[in-house]
Amino acid sequence: MVHLPLSLAYMSISVSDTPGPNKELQWLASIFSGIVFCKIVYTLTGIISFQSFKAYGRLSDFGKVEWNNRGFSTFHALVAASSSLYLLLLSSTFHPGSSDELLIRRTSSLSDMTLGFSIGYFLSDLAMVLWYFPALGGLEYVLHHALSLFSIVQSLLSGQGQIYILMVLFTESTTPFVNLRWYLDNAGNKNSNFYVVNGIALFFGWLVARILLFIYFFSHMYRNFDEVKTVFPLGFYSLLAVPPVLSMMNLFWFWKIARGMIKTIRKARHGK
């Protein structure tokens, strides 16, 4: 096994050259595929929506941009969440005792591809957020995407901490509910029962995937802190600093979601 040293300010990473296609090319291919699929889904969302939803045709030019943007956001969320769920629960990659390798250092081709694909998505979405700033999202979205990219890139290059990156990527499972709420609102269905049901699903989904999961995340890190300490310095301090920031952002957004759900339910009751 050949080890290629990579150096980057306060970071020393060892990348293993495994049999088969060059690992670095696999990374680049997965990142490129993430960008390409964002473009494809963005375009298809516009075409299908124009033919299927009257509300789409009534949107402003920017409204259509955001509608399409949420299309590839939903697509990435479904891919990232399902892949993360499989790797964490069904695959043997991160099962205790399935390998002599430390849990913090375990990877697979699928986990590498998942991280690369997500990098491609976050690059695409961040580029759009910055291009239309602040219409598609304010500073909190820029911070969220920047921290996500920073953490995922480190984990992909080093092959360390992927189990925790996948836990965080699973939180993307709430994104389809967020986007559906926006679609229903802009389609004039804010007073529909479907809107109320989606709001309740978003509340409980967010509670499980972005609040309770982060509690498990921190407890898992605490129980396996001897392994966490073996991560290269920049990655170690990133694991200590980035997740708490993301969890605070999730709590803030959860508070807004809870307020919105209560307001929607009260409005629906008064309307009966």
Q: How far apart are CA 192 and CA 61, in angstroms?
A: 26
DSSP string spanning 93-118? TTSTTS-SS-GGG---HHHHHHHHHH
Q: Is the pTM of this model over 0.75?
A: yes
Per-residue pLDDT of the chain (272 residues; tens, 9 = 90+): 333 333 333 344 444 444 346 889 999 999 999 999 999 999 999 999 999 999 999 999 999 999 999 999 999 999 999 999 999 999 999 998 888 899 999 999 999 999 999 999 999 999 999 999 999 999 999 999 999 999 999 999 999 999 999 999 999 999 999 999 999 999 999 989 999 999 999 999 999 999 999 999 999 999 999 999 999 999 999 999 999 999 999 999 999 999 999 988 887 777 65
- Report helix, strand or coil for 10: coil
The one-character DSSP state at 15 is E
For residue 89 the two structure tokens come to 């629960």
Domain spans, the chain: 23-271
- Report helix, strand or coil for 3: strand
- Residue whose tokens read 């516009």: 46
Which pLDDT does position 272 carry in this prediction?
59
